[in-house]
């Protein structure tokens, strides 16, 4: 087990009760966004519990290390009083306007857009991520993390997914997805903390759980499936 996997395992054990009570999981991620436009990235979460969950103390992003200083990784906090309903699905996009162009509807939250003011914006969680970086998930090796805690001392990763050469969340990690293709949880009621919980989207289907695909504009589908043959990936 590598160091990051060991750290994650320790955090999971330390917060087992919190994970069991919360029932909030990462359910889908697009990190190799359509047309290699980083503003098109997004992470989806799902509440598979029987009651609504208060998201006030939740954070989400790709900065997996407390006090991490990578400017291409970030962690964002949900607004005070934010909730996710039982069986609810929420999408956190980098840029709400780009997401709307790609999928035809607005995400629940955004992290960096300045033009789509109707969508609430998450804030950088500086106690964990002091450099206040931007969400910019690498195509070939990265992870998405969901963090919960009342302060930096209690903050811990409660769910994570990794892909490509990153084995932070589990080993083996997911195979890196092609342009516009998501990585999605197969069964949103199951979390074994292994890559067996995941598959490629067909292409991506934000906002739909259980994980049934929703139609996308034909141009996006062509981009996604063509890229499955000849992958375009950016490095850090």
Any idea which residue has 């083996």 for tokens? 172
Is residue 86 in some structural domain?
A: yes
User: Per-residue pLDDT for 16 more than 80?
Assistant: no
Is residue 131 in some structural domain?
A: yes
Is residue 236 in some structural domain?
A: no
- pLDDT on residue 202: 64
Range of the domain at 133: 3-229
CATH number at residue 128: 2.60.40.1260
Q: What value, to the nearest 5°, has the Cα angle with vertex 105 and ends 225 and 45?
A: 75
Is residue 235 in some structural domain?
A: no
CA gap 4, 75 in Å, rounded: 17
Among 57, 70, 51, smallest CA distance to 158 is for 57
Please compute the mean of the pLDDT values over residues 120-139 and round it to a whole number.
Answer: 90
What would the pLDDT profile of 200-226 be if each residue is shown by its tens digit? Answer: 986 556 766 644 333 333 333 333 333
**Bigger pLDDT: 227 vs 126:** 126
Domain count, the chain: 1
């Amino acid at each position: 087990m590598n160091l990051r996997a060991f750290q994650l395992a320790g955090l999971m054990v330390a917060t087992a009760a919190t994970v069991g009570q919360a029932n909030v999981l990462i359910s889908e991620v697009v990190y190799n966004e359509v047309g290699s436009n980083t503003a098109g990235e997004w992470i989806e979460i799902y509440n598979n519990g029987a009651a609504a969950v208060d998201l006030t103390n939740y954070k989400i992003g790709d900065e997996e290390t407390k006090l991490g200083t990578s400017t291409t990784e970030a962690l964002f906090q949900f607004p005070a009083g934010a909730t996710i309903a039982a069986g609810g699905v929420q999408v956190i996009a980098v840029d709400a306007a780009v997401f709307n162009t790609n999928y035809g509807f607005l995400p629940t939250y955004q992290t960096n857009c300045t033009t789509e003011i109707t969508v609430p914006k998450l804030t950088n969680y500086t106690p964990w991520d002091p450099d206040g970086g931007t969400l910019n998930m690498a195509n070939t090796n990265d992870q998405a993390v969901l963090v919960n805690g009342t302060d930096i001392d209690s903050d811990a990763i409660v769910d994570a997914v990794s892909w490509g050469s990153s084995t932070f969340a589990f080993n083996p990690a997911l195979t890196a997805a092609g342009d516009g293709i998501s990585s999605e949880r197969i069964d949103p009621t199951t979390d074994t903390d292994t890559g067996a919980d995941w598959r490629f989207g067909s292409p991506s289907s934000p906002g739909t759980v259980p994980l049934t695909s929703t139609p996308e504009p034909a141009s996006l589908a062509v981009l996604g499936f063509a890229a499955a043959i000849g992958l375009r990936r950016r490095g850090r």
